[in-house]
Amino acid sequence: MEYEIKKDGKFEYLEVGEGEPLMLLHGLFGALSNFSDLIEKFKHTHKVVVPLLPLFDLDILHTSVTGLAKHVTQFIEHKGYDKVHLLGNSLGGHVGLVYVLSHPEKVKSLILTGSSGLFENAMGDTYPKRGDYEYIKNKTALTFYDPAMATPALVDEVFEITRNRLKVIKIIALAKSAIRNNLGDELKQIKVPTCLIWGQNDTVTPPFVAEEFKKLIPHSELHFIEKCGHAPMMEVPGAFNEILFAFLTSLPK
């Protein structure tokens, strides 16, 4: 599915449908394609918004979780969104957490899937290796329960990013920022209804991370999906959308 990316000043984003905003925040190697099934389903009930996070456009000092959260803050203000359902995968979940902690009045609900913010098997200094296609292919496959999900097109996309030296530096900066920015002590402040949707076979943010989020976020519910890795909305979109739909329809109007 091809989507029209809108440009408004420094912001680039997708916006389809009508209703309460359902904002999707992607991870480090995230793309619109990661959310395609989700967008197709929920554009009939919500205004689905996907801001393209400026992973490689911020200066190195602001290439951090808080730098990305500031961008999201400015975007939401610029668009005048209110009662936002904020959904984040991986690094995007972490950005969403930072946002809701500082702007709880803007958020109606929070949905986290494979989110960083507590613990993740990070990329470290050795990843990504530039020019090593096989390494990138294997690393990309680890994102999923089914390695076949790491299609040649997806691997090529990641490989292309990792061939750029400056982008590699920024990826490592973001990964390190995610590790440093541990939110364990702050999560109890989150009062909005929160839905945790996790792959039972996630090796990046393993199931115990989801259980810790559940323990620390007061109004949270946790759903595990079997035979699923770090990107449930991409690997098992049917099951993911079913859980999300039930959660969103259970919220007070």
Q: What is the pLDDT of residue 28?
A: 87
Residue 123: pLDDT over 80: no
pLDDT of residue 3: 82
Q: Report CA torsion sign: 245, 250, 251, 253.
A: positive
For residue 45 the two structure tokens come to 């009930």
Q: Assess contact for 114 and 93: CB atoms under 8 A.
A: yes
Question: What average pLDDT does range 202-213 have in this prediction?
Answer: 96
**96, exposed or middle or buried, with CB in 10 Å at 0-12, 13-18, 19+?**
buried
Is it the case that residue 159 has pLDDT exceeding 70?
yes
Measured between alpha carbons, how far is 164 from 115 in angstroms, rounded to an integer?
Answer: 26
Long-range contact pairs involving 245-253 (C-beta distance under 8 Å, separation at least 24) = 245/41, 245/42, 247/109, 247/111, 247/193, 247/195, 247/221, 248/22, 248/45, 248/46, 248/85, 248/109, 251/108, 251/109, 251/193
**Mean model confidence pLDDT for the chain:** 92
pLDDT at 73: 98
pLDDT, tens digit (0-9, with 9 covering 90-100), for 71-95: 999 999 999 999 999 999 999 999 9
Walk me through the domains of the chain, giving residue ranges and CATH numbers.
6-121+183-250 (3.40.50.1820)
pLDDT, position 125: 42
Residue identified by tokens 């002590």 is: 185
What pLDDT score does 39 carry? 97
> Are the C-beta atoms of 49 and 24 separated by less than 8 Å?
yes
Q: Is a pLDDT exceeding 50 seen at residue 175?
A: yes
Answer yes or no: is pLDDT of 127 > 60. no
Predicted TM-score (pTM) of the model is 0.94
* pLDDT per residue as tens digits for the range 7-43: 999 999 999 999 999 999 999 887 778 899 999 999 9
